[in-house]
Structure 1
């Protein structure tokens, strides 16, 4: 069922909206005064009795109650007070300040800080924008305890004195990425730049789907529709196994084969938004400094940070052998440095890779790795803690793919012969890796933000006009009198705005990319209707004395239509509008990366591109969470969109009203009317039948009926169905509508 372009794939986080069953506990054992397991993961929810129930927790992630800062805290303002150069200097000092409790390899923590930053940023995937460094999520489960993230806990703990010193002025997300960037600068790379602005979270991101496996590093077969076709990696995943960032460095399922591994690398890095040249540069540059650790046995490692006892104080993977570090350091199980000088930026990785033949060997921990045949002593790195001892360098199966995969080989040889090009491509790729999930450049903070506009930042030209209240009112009337229907205006505005993702701050109405490829021809955007509306808006724009962007006209058209529909319902309300959106050009739009934003489902317009093996209401929750909406906002928007007649292709499912196009609370009134019966008629279809006459009054989908069947959603629906809440419903709908229209207006926040 899985294919690379999204057709037939399940685009959703499997099972993440349904609680998982837990083991029973004996609450009477020992007459303990608290419920056994009630405050641990053994008994997460009273809803565990109903494992298939719709779980709305995904819409309550990162509630303000978990945030130790009040609503008045403004991180951007705090960051402006930061002496960024002082922080960088403190990091540079820390790099060579080796701590007894976790000594630095070669007396330098550069490799440690690079890895910590890399593994936080490297969890990003382009399919849904989740993961990445933007939230400082590496501090929490599951990422803080992934097998691939072993000992990144030490990197964060080493940085704690600096975080403590600068406090609220720099987030953990910003500090970790800054440390990795400063580390590269300190070893001799001319870095491309750095931008702050990552907002820390304060609880695990339970809304992120990392795979269905129940076991770390389980077989890759769980993630592929066809294990022989590695392009069938399950959406939206990028890593090949549970607990890995990218690929298994020892080979596919631990079986060395550089060609097969090369294909896995290509798929997983593409899903992170990287091309082949960037992939090679990141592989080479990432392994130019530091070393891998495998001096020990995995079975001697203690529990991961999330599973360790209180005396470990948030640290994990304690090695019980010897010092537990230095000569006994265990991380990946692979042992050794990649280059002759692991604390210097140079081209030695490629020099050694192509200079020598490499033979498959085993590390002291038993991991598969490659070592050079007949290496000259001058090319051997010294021991990480004894400069009088020489060691063989090593390569992983993933490293060998840079030599044997035909495409990667050609790029690698080009970099070998052009080290300055490698340095430039890597510096840019590192910047992209560590900033990819931050959204447009106007969200970046600090003096080190590069001036260059990069296409993956989705640049949008700034506008040079303002609109007065009277000008806005005149434009609203022009749009309403344009011959376009209210539904056409509302749908176009919604379709333009709904692409916004709070996961990586991409998409949204700003830029009006709905008029460009690839969005203009997306099935969900109803190209025929869309082109009609765009043509009329362009005609209106051409006749204006003051030029207004198409992006503003699209949003204003929907705003005017909503306002007009509310007034027809008897609620006199002005829907707020803020001008200032620009119009992006096709040249400023990365078609390939925008394909990931295509709506394959949109419950707000009752749209499914095809049937999926996940229920429609679960897909609705996934889309709602990405758009940053709460459960009450979702309920208000659904009820309003239905009575406004905004369904895809004009279907009547869920349009529970005789006044279609008017912003009434009829959806909720008729949904909760006990004079009705709800009868299944087919896959995802139902008839709403009058109990007395037996006649069908309306039709519905699961997305419509879930607002009456789910106890939590019904409680909201009943509020809006009340006779005294007709005006409240309109006001709540308008507030949620404006939130969506302005979701990507970072200049307003």
Structure 2
């Protein structure tokens, strides 16, 4: 070694933090930068199954009855490494399914059990999900046996449904069809807190007014699925808890009756666990060392299993027979007086003032030992809130009605994020159409598409009318819960017909032309809207000198008001749509961030977002016909001009107030165009500029049209689950 050599002794051969969570990311250095990662969360490179794998095809080889038999055997066979309470895992698997599905929220459709996301951080390590990791490990031998014929997502939800059947409930049905993801969903905003179970005040403008909770959140604290079982911020107040329950469950698309049924039915089986010191538990799964192999919350002192398990910290069962479906929950809640006490783990819980030993639940390990039952603040809310109490009395008077209401609410809880019934697979799919499934009748397919298209072309509608209406109809689609989209033509129904984003007056005028054409040619209005949009794109491509014929598949149906749960569609209203340069009002979140969120919900990539925005600008599809971002002297042509202008250093970009900018000729100082942040971000963000420069090149005119056509078609077809069955 000469003097020029660098001594490497003792040096680590890899870059510290370069490929782990401890590394400093681009967003750490520039936290205000637009993070496009959410548009590529589930890149095909992360999926080990490959593009050829079709889960719906694999399901056809699944022996459903054998699978259910294996689940029943598992539920009733205690395993030594994690013993079952009373020899039954009904409570365990009901909780696994419940907490998988219960993260769903109506505002953006994110969360829920439809992707198997409980396997990954942060959900696998949420404080409220303690020991769901044990449930998944108990399910592993069954997953191993059936392999790719059953997804983790389906298996976890099915395990809860079968658990209720084992307990004695007649369930409403079950549908397969949930496909697994393969890494965490980093795009889901669970709250701004930096610590688990931080006080909930920061989520509300006023914590005493639950309706002021920050959207799109539903759970009251970071790391909880619903509400705090010990009370608001851990302080017992059943009426305040009732108010939070009402808001939280409403944000999960549940009404008061469903809320009571789910709470009572959920607490009819199983128990809470808090017979130990939480300080003795090992870290959560994501933080545990390699020797734990993804298992967290293991007791490092003593047994930590059976009667000594610690989960929520609350300790006890709600009913006398916690493995049976019965009316015992109501008997216990209303048959005794309750007082606040502390569990062995130090949690606040309600316990009976007096109770006969015969009414007590048995110890989970020794049936000869009787233990005290418990209630949480949420349970006491059902007794003390007048509306909830009245619903309880209705259930008590009619046990069959309670069982049916719970079964239906459970089905809704566990299937809400699956989207339309066309996505359901399996022998136990209920025949009944439910309004929360957003039912759509099958549409006609035998009409003359070419004749209808010619009639639209001769109708006098402008390119802007046609493309804007088609886009507005389709852009409601959310890949998070498969709601919205052009199928059903709900843009002509309340509430969508009155949304500011849809320009109600223009929309009514366009529909007054398209609806008679649809009737004359025997087509659905939904098909006619999409066909008109396609025609506009083809006309714009022709004006740019690129021949184009977009694919079109007839068969969309027209929903009716009776098929539409109008209040739940309020959550789909676009408050901003950067693709059409629309912003309802000023928000704390920037227009480009809101555009990014919409693109992700629509299932678009960064490339899609770039080409669709540039193309819609060139076709003059802006909301209200504004000229912002229409960087061209030939509007109506599907040209590259948006990108050419944006990347041309002959211009300068000058703020002029209210989020607007002028694009000025550097030589003369004359204003050439106007723009918004939703325009200029495609030149200012380094990633988006890379795409913009590509489409500004002299050799990519035809590629731009082709890429726009591809993205446009996928938007129009996103909700055609009838073609994907």
Q: TM-score, normalised by structure 2?
A: 0.98
Q: Residues of 1 paired with 2:16 and 2:658: CA distance?
A: 43
- Counterparts of 1:157-172 in structure 2, within 5 Å, are 157-172=137-152
Do structure 1's residue 740 and structure 2's residue 715 form an aligned pair? yes
229, 253, 261: which is aligned to 1:249?
Answer: 229
Do structure 1's residue 190 and structure 2's residue 170 form an aligned pair? yes
329, 345, 359: which is aligned to 1:349?
Answer: 329
Q: Residues of 1 paired with 2:371 and 2:689: CA distance?
A: 67
2:109 aligns with 129
Tell me, yes or no, if the aligned pair for 1:480 and 1:486 is still in contact at 8 Å: no
1:69 aligns with 49
Deviation string, structure 1 residues 60-110 (Cα, Å, up to 9, x no partner) = 101000001010100000011100110000000001211111000000000
- Does the residue aligned with 1:686 lie in a helix, a strand or coil? strand
2:663 aligns with 688
- Does the residue aligned with 1:483 lie in a helix, a strand or coil? coil
Tell me, yes or no, if the aligned pair for 1:437 and 1:504 is still in contact at 8 Å: yes
Deviation at 1:374, TM superposition (A): 1.4
Tell me, yes or no, if the aligned pair for 1:319 and 1:328 is still in contact at 8 Å: no
Q: Residues of 1 paired with 2:601 and 2:443: CA distance?
A: 27
- Counterparts of 1:59-208 in structure 2, within 5 Å, are 59-208=39-188
Q: Residues of 1 paired with 2:538 and 2:188: CA distance?
A: 36
Tell me, yes or no, if the aligned pair for 1:321 and 1:328 is still in contact at 8 Å: no
Which ranges in structure 2 are unaligned for 5 or more consecutive residues? 1-7
Tell me, yes or no, if the aligned pair for 2:276 and 2:304 is still in contact at 8 Å: no
Q: Residues of 1 paired with 2:710 and 2:323: CA distance?
A: 54
- Does the residue aligned with 2:22 lie in a helix, a strand or coil? helix
- Does the residue aligned with 1:724 lie in a helix, a strand or coil? coil
- Does the residue aligned with 2:699 lie in a helix, a strand or coil? helix
1:496 aligns with 473
Do structure 1's residue 313 and structure 2's residue 288 form an aligned pair? no
Q: Residues of 2 paired with 1:29 and 1:106: CA distance?
A: 59
1:515 aligns with 492
Which ranges in structure 1 are unaligned for 5 or more consecutive residues? 1-27
Deviation string, structure 1 residues 591-627 (Cα, Å, up to 9, x no partner) = 1111100001100000111111111111111100000
Deviation at 1:315, TM superposition (A): 0.3
1:393 aligns with 373
Q: TM-score, normalised by structure 1?
A: 0.95
- Does the residue aligned with 1:43 lie in a helix, a strand or coil? coil
Q: Residues of 2 paired with 1:69 and 1:495: CA distance?
A: 35
- Counterparts of 1:406-555 in structure 2, within 5 Å, are 406-467=386-447, 471-544=448-521, 547-555=522-530
Q: Residues of 2 paired with 1:50 and 1:598: CA distance?
A: 31
2:5 aligns with none
571, 584, 592: which is aligned to 1:609?
Answer: 584
2:340 aligns with 360
Deviation at 1:396, TM superposition (A): 0.3
Do structure 1's residue 287 and structure 2's residue 267 form an aligned pair? yes
My pick for the range that moved more, 367-376 or 549-558, is: 367-376
Tell me, yes or no, if the aligned pair for 2:341 and 2:351 is still in contact at 8 Å: yes
Tell me, yes or no, if the aligned pair for 2:444 and 2:554 is still in contact at 8 Å: no
Do structure 1's residue 323 and structure 2's residue 298 form an aligned pair? no
Deviation at 1:565, TM superposition (A): 1.1
Deviation string, structure 1 residues 290-332 (Cα, Å, up to 9, x no partner) = 1110011111111000000000001001111211211320000
Q: Residues of 2 paired with 1:607 and 1:127: CA distance?
A: 19
- Counterparts of 1:708-719 in structure 2, within 5 Å, are 708-719=683-694
Do structure 1's residue 705 and structure 2's residue 680 form an aligned pair? yes
Tell me, yes or no, if the aligned pair for 2:94 and 2:159 is still in contact at 8 Å: yes
Deviation at 1:539, TM superposition (A): 1.8
Deviation string, structure 1 residues 223-274 (Cα, Å, up to 9, x no partner) = 0012232210000000000000000000000000100000000000000000
Q: Residues of 2 paired with 1:296 and 1:601: CA distance?
A: 50
Q: Alignment RMSD, CA only? A: 1.1
Tell me, yes or no, if the aligned pair for 2:543 and 2:636 is still in contact at 8 Å: no
- Does the residue aligned with 1:688 lie in a helix, a strand or coil? strand
2:620 aligns with 645
Tell me, yes or no, if the aligned pair for 1:261 and 1:397 is still in contact at 8 Å: yes
My pick for the range that moved more, 36-45 or 162-171, is: 36-45
Deviation string, structure 1 residues 366-412 (Cα, Å, up to 9, x no partner) = 11111112112221111011111111110000110000011100001
Deviation at 1:44, TM superposition (A): 5.2
- Does the residue aligned with 1:42 lie in a helix, a strand or coil? coil
1:578 aligns with 553
Deviation string, structure 1 residues 613-671 (Cα, Å, up to 9, x no partner) = 11111111110000000001110000000011111111111000011111111101111
Count of residues in Structure 1 that have an aligned counterpart in Structure 2: 717
Deviation at 1:281, TM superposition (A): 0.1
Q: Residues of 2 paired with 1:102 and 1:554: CA distance?
A: 57
Do structure 1's residue 730 and structure 2's residue 705 form an aligned pair? yes
Q: Residues of 1 paired with 2:261 and 2:74: CA distance?
A: 27
Deviation at 1:570, TM superposition (A): 0.6
